[in-house]
Structure 1
Amino acid sequence: MSDSNQKAGCSSGLNYLPLGPLNGEVGGSVTFTTTVNPTGPELAAITWSFNKGSGPVSVIAFLPTATKPGPGYVGRVSLNNVTGFLELRELTLGDSGDYSVTLTTSNAQSLQGKTRLEVYEKISGVKTTVPTGVLITDGPEDVFIQGHREIEVGNRVVLTCSASSISPATFTWTFNGKETGVLTEEYTIANATIDHEKISGVKTTVPTGVLIAEKISDVNITGPTGVLIAGNGSANLSCQAAAGTLISRKWLKDGNSLSPSNRITVSGDNSSVSIDPVQGSDNGHYQCRLTNPVSTDTVSYYLTVNYGPEDVVIQRHREIEVGNTVVLICSASSVPPATFTWTFNGTETGVLTEEYTIANALIDYSGTYTCLARNSVTGLNISSAPHLLTVTVPAPLGAILGGTFGALACVALAGGAFVCMKKKKRRDIPCNQDAQAVVYENTKELGGPVVYENLAEGSIDPRSVASENRDDYQELQFKDSATYCTMKSH
């Protein structure tokens, strides 16, 4: 190996690619392997690039949202997003050069590697004349293994060892450093098991690893069995599979990645999650996604945390006219759902539902309504803020009442006596006059001195004064028409 090739396979720190060069044949394919542990932290991003001397060019990029091949590599590359392995097909002489990879793990660690690929064109039809008595030897060189890199347990594995040699090379295969007895260029395993890994051919500079993984099955999440109450307990979730190897795990909540916090802890191998203390916001669907080179499986678990009631509030009507239907709704955030008790001016109404309905509102229903929410599991009772309801008189009825009270003005004095004045003749005063001081005056001469005096107790019921037939009572009037109009409007 030349010095330049040695340097091509090195970088500062750890190199997560095997030392090169890798060799390929025009029209063939080659797989770039990494030394990433598939059971370690999940790879969040992978970037492969190629440099022929004029600057790096993107081969393929993997992000959580998409995998995008670079220009000229569409349909020619395949990427394993668990191990970072890259397969490059339909090789050309232009594919020779330096290849580098950057692997970013889920815990933000950056792993890098660099190697070199040499692509050769197969030579055929060449005749060599060798002088008699001269022995020329060539090879074997460029020995490498092609074939499966990942396969599921029980499937057939085919590996092929090739070498450059004038005289045909012979081959000896070893498995984990021990000879297998296979002496052909092809090594076949009819029924792969977990034990069939790290098979290599003699004189290979880098052993070829074959990832043989068992399919994931029977995935299950176990969680707390007791009742959880917010702020007063913890929860532990464990994700396991009955079968499967080389498994990596990822936790999600309601479809989004679950992030650790000061309350949420994820174990080093991502097999369990601990929440301490639990809160109402921890309610939801938790998913555990398991992945290995040959399969993926996801399982869900619903975690229930009892909390509340919180945010108890009354909504809907605050003012309504007599005779209409009043609807008040009490809402509260609570697990399990809260039960409700309604009070009116401090007295329980007997209404125990979230909706309080009054079919025919009367003036007497004006007042303060309160809703008490209760959670039977947490034992908490929370009351809403007072809700003031005002039942108003419709405009036509108000006008009638205004006319009635305008005809009879009574002033209550000490001892229960009344001073009453009768309207002699009603005047309609325009409502656009300038505001003036309020003046009490007679609107018409009564034909003699007017005397205002207390009536004998019990002699006259002010409500029964025949205002239109008596001349000894006069209506209180306001000289200012704006004030008079204001009285009519209330």
Structure 2
Amino acid sequence: MLVSPGLCYGKGLLPADSMVGEVSHNVTFTIVNPPSTPFRVVAWTTNGTNVITSGGSGADDIGTGYVGRITLNSTTGSLELRNLVLSDTGEYVVTILAVGQPKEGTATLRVYAPVSKMTITANNIDLVEFNSSVSLSCSSSGTSLSYRWLNGSSEFTASDGVQLDDGNSTLTIVRVTRYDQGPFWCIVSNPINSDNENGPENITLKVTPLDVLYGSGSDLTLSCSSESSPPAQFQWALNGELLSNQGPVLRLEKIQANQSGRYSCWAHNTRTLRYQTSEPSDITVLGGSVTLTCDASGSISNRDWRKDGQPLSPSERIIFSEDNKTVSISPLNLTDSGIFLCHLANLLSNENASYNLTPLLRCPGGVFGIIVMLKDPATFHLQCPC
């Protein structure tokens, strides 16, 4: 700092070299070591312009824009500045003329607008694993903003698969995977405050009435709820495929066999990377269908099917493909419950894959599920689309 000739910089005259203020709030420049003799003149300036000059023979000289916003303590020289605006940012200098040598102090004030009105938008929420990229943009009102992105409690940093652009306000994930589902947090801050938002959590689905088996013609009501800020929007899905139905309630009237499956609600808001799903609720209507698939890598010389230890034979309801790779059962009935086994063989090895089919029971994780078995030299799986 340059000191004017004849002035002595009063170290400790102002307690801090820099101060932080918030728009519409007040700050006080407190003189902590005022001269002990009466003041003749107290002058405050900022960026070279007059704020207030008090003393001498005339009335106080208050600078343009400060009338009604300042109060000067004529005893200590302290200055209160009210209703701060961004243009109040600057270097404030106080000069006190008293008996003896004049004193001067200086402090820098930085005024910030608070973080508010935060939003997150995604350029895509319909993503395919290993094939799609997504960009999340975080915006907020305020000044001197800094951005951080978190997935749960882990903070994102730039890497081969993650890009941070526009001052970290934009997060791009290249080639998303199933582990990129979030919830994602954007934390916006400046020296006076911070704000953050998160996506839907604790999503729950309820079915009324709750039963194991529903007969054709039954009426069902499914309801979905979640914890989210802002409130979530809901989309319904059957067997993982999104339905046109939206809203927290899905009503199924006079259901039929082709409406069997795993119902889930997907909750989202503009602050999530992608839809977050509830634990599915399986609804099985007597008369539905299922297809079992048995396949393997390498050559297969023989493929046989058994049920509960007995050879499985084709019928009007049980249809085999020409190569015995698939077995389709439609419509399902009580006698189809049991353990289905596929026997695979080639010249080097033979293996079995089994599946316990309970089409008339609703159980966690899905009625039909998927069983994958890895063996050498053959790799095969037995699965049901569900």
> Normalising TM by the smaller chain, what interval?
0.3 to 0.5
**TM-score under structure 1 length normalisation:** 0.36
- The structure in which a higher percent of residues are strand is 2
The structure whose RCO (Cα within 8 Å, separation 6+) is larger is 2
**TM-score under structure 2 length normalisation:** 0.44
Higher CA-based Rg? 1
- The structure in which a higher percent of residues are helix is 1
